[in-house]
Chains A and B, each alone.
Chain A
Amino acid sequence: MLEARGVAVAYGARTVLEVDELAVRRGETLALIGPNGAGKSTLLRVLGLLERPARGEVRLDGQPVGWGRDLLRARRRFASVFQEPLLADTTVERNVGLGLALRRVPGPALRRRSAHWMDRLGIGGLAGRPVRTLSGGEAQRTSLARAFAIEPDVLLLDEPFSALDAPTREELLRDLQRILRDAAVTTVFVTHERAEALRLGDRVGVVLDGRVAQLAAPEVVFGRPATPGVARFVGVENLLPGRVAVADDGLVTVDTGRLRIRAPGDEPVGRRVLVCVRPEDVVLGTAEGRPTRDSALNHFFGRVADLVPAGIQVRVQVECGDSLVALVTRHSVQELALTPGTPVKVSFKASAIHLIEREKAGGR
């Protein structure tokens, strides 16, 4: 119901956004992820008719939106929540009703809808509070209630949780997830947190360098990234360039020059590919024993090069010809007595591998 076509935005000589086509389906939650500065927020402003692109058009229900007289009417079909709550200096209740007041919704309906959405967001008890006295979480709930109270055709969320502490964010994320499921409002949700995109998105779009690099179901984007850039952003840390050496009925062997890796695929012999393996799919074991012959499993022997704590886990870099990264628990690190130099066996299932064709992917 909402589309961007041939949209380009440039600041000075720098093109910050170039999107050939992006269509948001009615009722879905589309999560846009990408690193900071990739153009996600710019794309959201263009979609929300808040920034006029240098080229291209935005369509609502198939009709191009003009930037003249009809703009306000079209814009009033949207509601936005930004990273900061950006509340007006008055009470919670009056903020929640602000969008409705701007639309000249009559008093009784305005109060009823405000009260309803304050309750839904758990701030019913704060109605009369001046917003200056709110905590960060309460303020963002007010901002969300203000957006939902409009009951918009399209809800635009621009990193609404990124300024909140972890527990507050988790609570709010859970509430938002429930409300989005119930209300089924068409939503575009911008975030740089992959976990948020996975939880909220019906589809995920990855924005890199001002372009939508991939737009698909979350499991596709995270499991089968279309380009090296997407792969890196969705957490694939092992990207090994190689060439298909053997192709055998749905299973190929890729030669990286140092390793021979078995992976599922139909690519012909000689095709240049990029082998993608997530670090959490890489298993470390003791270097003793003999390599088992197993077509579904890749084994390599190497030595630990580096250990970097990553939250409750540890990122272990192993040199085995190529350099591979494994994400393992602290417990495993202790059990295997891993220190730099320790010989280890690295294994990962063939089914954990995704191949990207390098010709198609280009440099991105």
Chain B
Amino acid sequence: MALIWEGLRRAVGLLVGLDREVLGITWLSLQVAGASTALALLLGIPLGSAIALTRFPGRGLVISLVNTGMGLPPVVVGLFVSILLWRSGPLGSLELLYTPTAIVIAQLVIAAPIVTGLTLAAVQQIPARFRLQMLALGASRGQLLWLLLREARLPMLAAVMAGFGGVISEIGASMMVGGNIRGQTRVLTTATVMETAKGSFDVAIALSLILLALTFLVNYLLTAIQQRRRPA
């Protein structure tokens, strides 16, 4: 128990004192997770809408693949992205391994199926009759897509949150393609693992608290918005 109390006390000290290293790690985590989520949205929203709104042979298979992708183990993603970016690998010449960009790429692979799958579900739950009504009101293809996404904005928000929540808390991929290099690719999760291994529970607890707080914030915002818009 003493270990926990002591750890907690010193962790609070680090946070209150705005420890430069802890702040740096947090900031990098936010940047990397933010960038990969943004890219995942850019990719997943059009893809998810397209799958939801069109009929083509093999559509069922594609949807199954997307759904499988929503549960991709980060370690597996880390492995394959590592191979891709390895010095002698297909993309080795880009020299991206052990850079924040590599983490963004790996996290994009993790988040894109999540955003795609949730967008697909969100757009698909809008009745076809609504689509017909919007076309009847004179919507062009682009306007129709915009109206559908706006109609599905609550579940879409869930897609954003789920994507962000998924990548900020994953560790396998960040560790494998980022390498946990101090000041360069060290993020909240990899740092926590390392500090724990070193026995520096105070720093590990401080980092965990920040991670918890971020996760809480994300979920709190989502819940708040959903509750505010509860149907009357």
Contact = CB atoms under 8 A, between A and B. Distances in A.
A301 interface: no
A225 B34 CA distance: 70
Contacts of A103: 138
Contacts of A260: none
Interface stretch (B16-24, B129-137, B189-197): B129-137
Contacts of A72: 138, 140
Interface residues of A, number: 25
Contacts of B87: none
B137 A98 contact: yes
Interface string B97-114: 000000000000000000
Contact of B133 (A75, A76, A86, A132): A86
A224 B34 CA distance: 72
A117 interface: no
B132 A50 contact: yes
A82 B130 CA distance: 10
A76 B134 CA distance: 11
Contacts of A48: 136
A259 B106 CA distance: 89
Contact of B232 (A50, A75, A86, A132): A132
A226 interface: no
A99 B136 CA distance: 9
A237 B151 CA distance: 48
Nearest to B148: A88
Given A88-B151, A89-B151, A133-B232, A150 B137 contact: yes
A89 B126 CA distance: 11
A86 B127 CA distance: 9
Given A88-B150, A133-B232, A82 B133 contact: yes
Interface in A230-270: none
Given A88-B147, A89-B151, A146 B132 contact: no
A212 B151 CA distance: 37
Nearest to B147: A88
A80 B231 contact: no
A102 interface: yes
A156 interface: yes
Contacts of B140: 72, 102
A156 B143 contact: no
A148 interface: no
B138 A102 contact: yes
8 contacts: A75-B136, A78-B136, A79-B138, A84-B129, A88-B151, A102-B137, A102-B140, A130-B232
Interface of B: 127, 129-130, 132-140, 143, 147, 150-151, 231-232
Interface of A: 45, 48, 50, 72, 75-76, 78-80, 82, 84, 86, 88-89, 98-99, 102-103, 130, 132-133, 146-147, 150, 156
